[in-house]
A and B are shown apart, each in its own frame.
Chain A
Amino acid sequence: MMLRFSALSAFFILCFCIVGSIRAQVPARIAEIQARAFESRTGTFSENLIGLGARELGNMPAGPNASVSTFIIVKVQFGKGSPVPAAAKVRLVATESGSTPFSSKSKTQRKKIILDTSSSLGPADSDGTTYVGFWLERTDCRTIVLNASLRGVAGATSMVETLPFTCYE
């Protein structure tokens, strides 16, 4: 009986270790990109413009919540108990494209990279989650595609989000 109990305990401990090991080996990933418009008249940040259905980004430079710059927050997950590699960095490339099709001076403009920078990571919380911030200086009337990728970590994935800004008369 005692032997059976010990064997059972050993089995469960083994399972626990395996599960823990698997969890620790969850590949590091970009989990989320948030974008919060900085409102120049109030000095405050908007709700997250990505997701939550907040996709109506028209005439952002005008009105009581006027905004011409946006703070980007990239959420990175390494998995519980995993160390944050010293070499790990988040690279964010922000590309502006499209035109302002409904304005009197409408013209198609070329794509333009408005930010391409890499940032080191700070400490992660107990779940292995850490956040990195980036500042986009001119975000007003053209669509911006954000491409966040994790560097210095094997097997890491990237994430792409779009901020569909537009302006119109």
Chain B
Amino acid sequence: MQAIRNSVGDGGTNERSDSALVQAILAKITRAAAPGRPAGPYLTGIDGSVGNGTKNAIRDFQNENVFVNEATQQSVANPLATPGLVRPGDATWLKMLEKVDTAFKEMRVLVGGKTVYVAATENQKQAKINAVNGLTFTQVFRTRVINCITQMHTLHGIAIGVCPQGDRRTFQTQYDLLTSGRGVTNAGPGESNHNFGMAADLGFAGLRWLRENGTVVENEDAWLHQLDPTQRLVPEALRFWETLRTVGTSPAVGAFRGPLADRPHLQNWNDANVSMTRRLAVHLTNSGTMRWERAAAVRGQRTRYSCDLGFGGAVFEVGTAAQIWNREATVTAAMIDQGRAAQAAARPQQGGQQARPALAPATQDDVRNMKIELRRQFDLADANWENWTAN
């Protein structure tokens, strides 16, 4: 059981998280039936706020378990306990730990919070780690993800795991998200740090926490939909997300956060000064047979890319990553003509000063095939994801 930091009860410090933990313990101790009262818990409300109900429950518990001779059931003094109050490590606290139901011997609460949860077992943590080993990450980042899971369990007793589609994301999946129409992402295929196996989305699936009435939530999902049904990041949910980020970016784990709002996200590098679009252009060049550049940015528009179309000369603006991925690059017949002409001009002439043969103008089939080829270059970059670099 997590220890309380200060006293709880009548005249106590009554910090919220301490109070919630004491309340949860009292809610999970079965009080014997007595005339006019069936067996049940000492307390049914867990709200982190100490009122008369909590104070009375503490007194009831003490009168029946602390200030009593268990053999004779006579009231006795106990110098190691204070009436109406629970102090860290005192006789009341120790007796509460002794009496709490076995299934709730390991409860925790985040500092400042009131959501008490049952600590995950070693097996539950290991299951999450095993799942990570079946997902797609670079080996270096996989180690960090596992370290993060281990640290969250060690420090907070929580078995976090990777969310669905929270590992390496293909260019196609990125395209799907971009075009979902829900504004989920601004990143096109190859422009998200998820596309290269060095980022993860982590969540809290399986977290067993206690509702205010003491019942245990058994079906929590990765994004805490039970704790935060409308996903508005209520303070109690936010506390879990912030804890995850704090642990993930700690020296013991060594990961970095992504966008501020993207709380489940951890990644392998600090992208404060990394242009994902510039890095994609470099990665495309390194992975395929064309030279790529990021086109000049235009405010309010998605980043466009330029490419030499494989002719080795000047580059031509061929559209956004999404356009190219969807085989809708903005390449034209004139660009192909220009590229071919430059390529021919750059070739050393054979047979002296004879005139070069005229090049046939590009057809619409050539344009269509070039769009397919540009998409193929993205496919090559997608397949070469493990060799993406941040600098």
Residues of A at the B interface (CB closer than 8 Å) are 53, 55-59, 61-63, 66, 68, 97-106, 108, 140-143, 162, 164, 166-169
Q: Which of B77-85, B182-190, B311-319, B353-361 forms part of the interface with chain A?
A: B182-190
Closest Cβ–Cβ distance, residue B302 to chain A (whole Å): 13
Determine if B225 and A168 form an interchain contact, defined as CB atoms under 8 angstroms apart. no
- Judged by a CB distance under 8 angstroms, whether B65 is at the interface is no
Name 29 interchain pairs, CB-CB below 8 A, sorted by A: A55-B219, A58-B223, A61-B176, A61-B177, A61-B180, A62-B180, A63-B165, A66-B176, A98-B229, A98-B232, A99-B232, A100-B184, A101-B232, A101-B261, A102-B223, A102-B263, A102-B264, A104-B261, A104-B262, A105-B184, A108-B230, A143-B231, A162-B229, A164-B223, A166-B231, A167-B177, A169-B186, A169-B187, A169-B192
Closest Cβ–Cβ distance, residue A119 to chain B (whole Å): 27
- Judged by a CB distance under 8 angstroms, whether B251 is at the interface is no
Q: A63-B176, A66-B176 are in contact. Are A141 and B230 (CB under 8 A)?
A: no
Of all chain B residues, which has the CB nearest A66? B176
Of all chain A residues, which has the CB nearest B261? A106
Q: Collect the chain A residues with CB atoms within 8 Å of residue B222's CB.
A: 56, 58
Q: Collect the chain A residues with CB atoms within 8 Å of residue B194's CB.
A: 169
State A62–B157 Cα separation when bound (angstroms). 32
Determine if B185 and A169 form an interchain contact, defined as CB atoms under 8 angstroms apart. yes
Interface size class of B (residues with CB under 8 A): 35 or more
Determine if A102 and B182 form an interchain contact, defined as CB atoms under 8 angstroms apart. no
Closest Cβ–Cβ distance, residue B356 to chain A (whole Å): 48
Closest Cβ–Cβ distance, residue B161 to chain A (whole Å): 9
Residues of B at the A interface (CB closer than 8 Å) are 163-166, 169-170, 172-174, 176-177, 180, 182-187, 192, 194, 201, 205, 219, 221-223, 225, 229-233, 258-259, 261-265
Determine if B182 and A141 form an interchain contact, defined as CB atoms under 8 angstroms apart. yes
Q: A98-B230, A98-B231, A102-B265 are in contact. Are A141 and B223 (CB under 8 A)?
A: no
Determine if A102 and B262 form an interchain contact, defined as CB atoms under 8 angstroms apart. yes
State A142–B229 Cα separation when bound (angstroms). 11
Determine if A62 and B165 form an interchain contact, defined as CB atoms under 8 angstroms apart. yes
Known contacts A57-B164, A62-B180, A169-B259; 13 additional CB pairs below 8 A are A58-B163, A59-B184, A61-B176, A62-B176, A62-B177, A63-B176, A98-B232, A102-B261, A103-B185, A106-B261, A140-B180, A141-B182, A143-B225
